[in-house]
Amino acid sequence: MSKPEAARIEAVHRSPLHDLRKQPQPVLRLLTGRGVEGDAHLGATVQHLSRKRKQPALPNLRQVHLIHAELHEELQAAGFHVHAGEMGENITTRGLDLLALPEGARLHLGAGAVLQVTGLRDPCAQLERLQPGLMAATLGRDAQGQVVRKAGIMAIVLAGGDVRPGDAIRVELPDLPHKALQVV
């Protein structure tokens, strides 16, 4: 029997532009309460352009976007040509079911950075510009017919630090009862 894969960071990305694709980096610097240094979504208040126009003082619950590498593999198996960083994520993980995490879970990354999970990413129409059908492919239905959003999760930075591909990820769950992730 094979040993389960340890959770780790597979790739890290950022972009100074409000663009879907983010560029691979050898290291990301996470800044406490702000997000990814050099990324367009860096800030204590909301940076998502449409939300910023409506309510610019809202807290930024989308400082860091994470996607599991297993989603890229699922999409590739369905005929899509997607790779790490192309769907807007800052951190690509492996060996961790991001979508099953509860709200408030803490992700300890590398030597000392800590993220707190805030919610799900809602797949957006920008995915269609990347490849037709991609947005629909990141949505599914559970056994009860409820929509399942597979395009990753969002988090805030509780403790800053540098993170790199290959760094370990340790999950710290919040106290019970756990609250399922909702779109943020």
Q: pLDDT for 78-114, tens place per residue?
A: 999 999 999 999 999 999 999 999 999 999 999 999 9
Output the pLDDT for position 113.
Answer: 98
Query: Taking the mean position of all CA atoms in its chain, how far away is CA 133?
Result: 20
Residue 13: which pLDDT band, with cuts at 50, 70 and 90? very high
Q: pLDDT for 64-74, tens place per residue?
A: 999 999 999 99
- Provide the percentage of residues in the chain whose pLDDT is more than 90: 86
d(CA 122, CA 153): 9
Give Cβ neighbours of residue 1 (< 8 Å, ≥ 6 apart).
none
- Provide the percentage of residues in the chain whose pLDDT is more than 70: 97
The DSSP element (H or E) to which 112 belongs, if any, is none
pLDDT of 51 strictly over 90: no
pTM of the model: 0.94
Instruction: Please tell me the total number of residues recorded for the chain in this structure.
Output: 184
The top-level CATH class assigned to 8-172 is mainly beta
DSSP state of 17: S
- How do the domains of the chain map onto residue ranges? 8-172
